[in-house]
């Protein structure tokens, strides 16, 4: 069983992705080691497969770098349980960098 998750990048994060993609659909197993897949696995997948340049701008210590906002289905991930949120099929995860000048 696998699930697909829609990932999107903005706030400048798209610029460090392969081909500067703003959006990608990733396929992940629904469970890992018998446990449901969490958004942390989505982050690690993005870091290992989609980031082309300067991975430290996206991720540090096996999660997003402080200053990157994560929206899960249009909600702040801090309301949804952060790294431990269990991703569902067709979820949309948006990463927004806040580290750029205004």
Partner 1 sequence: MPRVCEICQGAKAILRRPKTGQSICKECFFRVFETEVHNTIVDNKLFRRGDRVGIGASGGKDSTVLAYVMKTLNERYDYGLDLFLLSVDEGISGYRDDSLETVKRNKEQYELPLLIVSYEQLYGWSMDAIVETVGRKNNCTFCGVFRRQALDRGALMLDLDHIVTGHNADDVAETILMNIFRGDIPRLGRCTEIATSGDGYITRSKPFKYAYEKEIVMYAYFRKLDYFSTECTYSPNAYRGYAREFLKDLEAVRPSAILDIIHSGEAMQVASEVKLPSQTSCERCGYISSNRVCKACVLLEGLERGVPQLGIGKSVKKTQDLLAGRTATRSGRAVDVVHFDKLRKHAQEMRHERCTGCTCDTSAPGT
Which residues are near partner 1 by CB under 8 A?
A: 10-12, 15, 65-67, 69, 71, 74-76, 78-79, 96-102
Least distance to partner 1, CB of residue 14, Å? 9
Q: CA nearest 47: which of 71, 26, 72, 29?
A: 26
Comparison of 20 and 32: residue with beta carbon closer to partner 1: 20
Rounded distance between C-alpha atoms, residue 40 and residue 15, angstroms: 21
Least distance to partner 1, CB of residue 89, Å? 18
Least distance to partner 1, CB of residue 100, Å? 5
Close Cβ partners of 29 (under 8 Å, ≥ 6 residues apart) = 1, 2, 3, 37
């Amino acid at each position: 069983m696998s699930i697909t998750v829609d990932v999107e990048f903005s706030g400048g994060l798209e610029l460090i992705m392969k081909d500067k993609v703003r959006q990608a659909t990733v396929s992940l197993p629904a469970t890992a080691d018998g446990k449901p897949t969490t958004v942390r696995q989505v982050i690690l997948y993005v870091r290992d497969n989609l980031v082309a340049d300067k991975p430290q701008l996206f991720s540090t210590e096996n999660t997003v770098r402080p200053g990157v906002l994560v929206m899960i289905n249009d909600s702040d991930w801090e309301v949804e349980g952060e790294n431990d949120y269990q991703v569902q099929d067709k979820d949309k995860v948006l990463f927004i960098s806040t580290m750029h000048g205004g």
